[in-house]
């Protein structure tokens, strides 16, 4: 049997996705069904989809793996009025130190996704004051995640651009500013996670590419320490030893400035924010869509799940979900969890 048929018939949460598309007599949501590059576009489509049953029919007819949602618009003026804030975090936007090229992803470079989710959550919750229940974390299906925020829906294009400007930090000076704004407790959390997951687990400092990046950062920002560290690192056998040496040196020097190790960690982790998906006029992929290349499902997940080391290879795909359904006649637990998260998030509108 056609796997997509099984998926849309038995596993897909059409009532929840339809709720995301909901319209009133004077408003409608831009919607597109796509498969690869082909789009079936909104208004015509929406005229045909007036209830959940019709949406279901359309899904089975097109078997389009991806449902794209745009802004909610006024039917008469066709002007975009509101849309979720969408943060699209993609591992390919980071400077990576592994062997991955272009769209590849591995256990090493997933560290950027783990760190970005940690920092983005802090920025949204602690610095912008958003409530946890208004934030939905969704796997993009391959190289990262989408973070959907159902607050400030009425933000204009200008306000959205200002928000992106506030969050993005493209220079070392702006990263320093960010670090100065952090609470000590959170700084310790970043350092613990970086040391455990990046230095010990992934052995990132054993890679010459990362070593060089650290030395470059030292040379530019801590020229007094650069020569000493470069010399001592030559005598260290492992990346862990190099890291320990750097941290001991920082303690001995009792620096007034930001600790170099902290600057290294934050530069690695800081979320690279793409301004496009945030725009009022740009569509975003609805949760539970299927990735056209990998067949992975865009599942809503707990924030902690994004920090799962094995996630780049452990994401639930169409074939696996349908196989689970065939054997157990129920959905896989990861799907139930995703539906529960989406339902809770939708109830906050």
Q: Does 268 bind Zn ion (CB under 5 A)?
A: no
Stretch that binds Zn ion, among 105-113, 192-200, 218-226, 229-237 (CB under 5 A): 105-113
Window contacting Zn ion (CB under 5 A); options: 100-108, 270-278, 310-318, 334-342: 100-108
Q: Closer to Zn ion at the Cβ: 86 or 109?
A: 109
Work out whether 207 is an interface residue with Zn ion (CB under 5 A). Answer: no
CB 31 within 8 A of CB 248: no
How far apart, in whole angstroms, are the C-alpha atoms of residue 29 and residue 32? 10
Q: What residues numbered 109-148 form the site for Zn ion, per CB under 5 A? A: 109
Taking CB under 5 A as the rule, does residue 198 contact Zn ion?
A: no
Minimum Å gap between C-beta 192 and Zn ion is 23
Helices (H) and strands (E) in the chain, counts: 17, 9
Of 110 and 284, CB closest to Zn ion:
110
**Candidates 35-43, 106-114, 309-317, 330-338; binding stretch for Zn ion (CB under 5 A):** 106-114
- Report how far residue 270's alpha carbon sits from residue 116's, in angstroms, rounded to the nearest whole number: 5
DSSP sequence for 302-315: -HHHHT-TTHHHH-
Residue 16 is a binding residue for Zn ion (CB under 5 A): no
Beta strand 66-74 with 135-139 is: unpaired
Label residue 233 left, alpha or beta by phi (over 0 means left) and psi (-120 to 50 means alpha): alpha
Shortest Å, Cβ 296 to Zn ion = 17
307-313's contacts with Cβ under 8 Å and 24+ in sequence apart are: 307/114, 307/117, 307/118, 307/193, 307/197, 309/107, 309/110, 309/114, 309/197, 309/201, 310/107, 311/110, 311/113, 311/139, 312/105, 312/106, 312/107, 312/110, 313/107
Q: Binder to Zn ion among 17, 85, 89, 98 (CB under 5 A)?
A: 98
Q: How many residues bind Zn ion, per CB under 5 A?
A: 5
Q: Which is nearer to Zn ion, 108 or 149 (CB)?
A: 108
Q: Which of 27, 81, 106, 200 binds Zn ion (CB under 5 A)?
A: 106
* CB 141 to Zn ion: min, Å: 17
Least distance in Å: CB of 61 to Zn ion?
39
Question: Residue holding tokens 């924010």?
Answer: 273
Binding site for Zn ion (CB under 5 A): 98, 100, 106, 108-109
């Amino acid at each position: 049997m056609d796997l997509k048929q099984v998926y849309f018939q038995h596993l897909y949460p059409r009532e929840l996705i339809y709720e995301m598309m909901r319209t009133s007599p004077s408003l409608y949501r831009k919607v597109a069904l796509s498969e690869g590059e082909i789009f079936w576009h909104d208004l015509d489509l929406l005229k045909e989809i007036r209830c959940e049953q019709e949406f279901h029919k359309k899904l089975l007819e097109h078997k389009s793996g991806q449902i794209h949602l745009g802004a909610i618009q006024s039917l008469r003026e066709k002007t975009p009025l509101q849309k979720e804030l969408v943060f699209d975090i993609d591992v390919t936007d980071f400077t990576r130190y592994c062997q991955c090229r272009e769209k590849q992803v591995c256990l090493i470079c997933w560290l950027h996704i783990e760190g970005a989710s940690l920092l983005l959550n802090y920025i949204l919750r602690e610095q912008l004051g958003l409530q946890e229940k208004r934030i939905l974390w969704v796997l993009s299906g391959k190289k990262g995640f989408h973070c959907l925020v159902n607050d400030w829906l009425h933000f204009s294009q200008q306000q959205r651009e200002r928000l992106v400007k506030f969050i993005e930090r493209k220079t070392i000076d702006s990263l320093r500013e960010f670090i100065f704004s952090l609470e000590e407790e959170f700084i310790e959390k970043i350092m613990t996670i970086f040391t455990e997951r990046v230095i010990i687990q992934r052995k990132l400092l054993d890679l010459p590419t990362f070593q060089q990046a650290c030395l470059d950062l030292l040379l530019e920002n801590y020229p007094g320490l650069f020569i000493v560290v470069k010399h001592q690192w030559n005598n260290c056998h492992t990346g862990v030893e190099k890291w320990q040496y750097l941290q001991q040196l920082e303690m001995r020097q009792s620096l007034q400035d930001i600790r170099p190790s902290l600057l290294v960690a934050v530069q690695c982790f800081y979320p690279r924010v793409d301004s496009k998906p945030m725009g009022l006029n740009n569509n975003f992929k609805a949760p539970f869509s299927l990735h056209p290349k990998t067949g992975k499902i865009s599942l809503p997940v707990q924030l902690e799940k994004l920090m799962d080391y094995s996630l780049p290879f452990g994401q639930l795909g169409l074939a696996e979900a349908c196989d689970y359904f065939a054997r157990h006649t129920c959905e896989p637990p990861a799907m139930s969890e995703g539906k529960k998260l989406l339902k809770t998030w939708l109830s906050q509108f």
